[in-house]
Amino acid sequence: MIATKAKGSSIESYGKPEAMLADLGYLLGVQSYAGETRSEGGFAANKVSTAAVLDVFTRADKGKTYYMFEILTRTADGDEGGRHQLIAATVSDGTLYIMKLQSGDKRWFKGQERDLKQTWNSFTVA
């Protein structure tokens, strides 16, 4: 969970959810490898990581809007086949609250998806 000073009085002050996603890129990690690679395994040349946005939506709860993001990240090392990232964000009393849940692909398909999505969808701020 991250709590930081908000840009405005509501999550909408960040623009549409897709626009806010660019501000949240740091939550997904930054490629630390710098060098030449071939285009293998679905990665662009000179890249060893990728992120795919699977779903973006908003939900409302008790007068607050929540931006919801589901993202799949992969790295060239193939660790766990990728990582599912579930991010929820809202603003309350001038504070931006961000919750991030993460699961490896193997655990995701062995049942963690249900538990994490239940937690993700129940995230609320007073």
| CATH superfamily assigned to domain 2-30+43-110 | Mog1/PsbP, alpha/beta/alpha sandwich (3.40.1000.10)
Residue from 41, 73, 84, 64 nearest 126 by CA: 64
Q: Which residues does residue 59 pair with via DSSP β-bridges, in sequence order? A: 66
Which amino acid appears at position 78 of this protein? Answer: G
Q: What is the pLDDT along the chain (126 residues), one digit of tens a residue?
A: 999 999 999 999 999 999 998 888 778 765 555 666 665 555 556 555 677 899 999 999 999 999 999 998 877 666 566 889 999 999 999 999 999 999 988 899 899 999 999 999 999 998
Q: Enumerate helices (H) and strands (E) in the chain, giving the number of each.
A: 3, 5
Q: Which pLDDT score is estimated for 34? A: 62
Q: Which pLDDT score is estimated for 23? A: 83
Give dist(CA 119, CA 116) in Å, integer: 5
Q: Which pLDDT score is estimated for 21? A: 87
Domain chopping of the chain, boundaries: 2-30+43-110
- State the pTM of this model: 0.83
